[in-house]
Amino acid sequence: MTMTTIFGAALITGAQLSGSPVLPPDGDVVTGPPEQLLLAQYEQCLSFEIEARIETDLSADVVFDESHAACAPFFDAFADIAQSRVLLADFDYRAERAALLTAIRNVSVRIIDARQGGDLTRDRLPLELPSVIT
């Protein structure tokens, strides 16, 4: 069972626990399970932090690591809530959580590399994270 499946199952299981409406910067009201809101906050925070560092001389790895460190509380809270909704005796949660973060990191670093390198596709590479909830 993958982390995507686990988090998807957690969202279905926790669908009745909708969070309070949150007003994101664009003005739309977002509601949903708390872990979904936390993931959206993590993605928003990570995008903001990466954008703030992308024009520096830092390597793509360092840009991601520093950006993730600034946003880690959202990721950790998201993962903790999702974990609390899944009870499997043979599930290695730490390994799945690390795999999820590695997947986010790999995609983000490739995008940062392309954008820092002045690649011709730079304008077509949005700073978006892979979807982890299906």
Domain that holds residue 49: 32-119
Structural domain contains residue 133: no
Any domain includes 97: yes
Over the stretch 12-42, which tens digit does the pLDDT of each residue have? 333 323 333 334 445 455 556 787 888 889 9
**Dihedral (C-alpha) 106, 79, 126, 18: value to the nearest 10 degrees?**
160
Helix (H) / strand (E) element for 54: namely: none
Q: Does 7 fall in a domain?
A: no
In a domain, 71, yes or no: yes
Is 13 domain-assigned? no
Q: Which two tokens stand for residue 112?
A: 């940062």
In a domain? residue 6: no
- Whether 67 is in a domain gets the answer yes
Residue 92 phi, psi (nearest 5): -90, 90
> Which residues of the chain carry a pLDDT beneath 50?
1-25, 27, 120, 122-126, 132-134
- Overall domain count for the chain: 1
Residue appearing with tokens 């998807």: 8
- 12 occurs within a structural domain: no
Sign of CA dihedral 41, 45, 46, 48: positive
| Residue among 2, 10, 5 nearest 78 (CA) | 10
pTM as predicted: 0.62
Q: Work out the burial of residue 57: count CB atoms within 10 Å of its CB; fewer than 13 is exposed, 13-18 middle, 19 or more buried.
A: exposed
Above pLDDT 70, what percent of the chain?
Answer: 60
117, 55 in Cβ contact below 8 A?
A: no
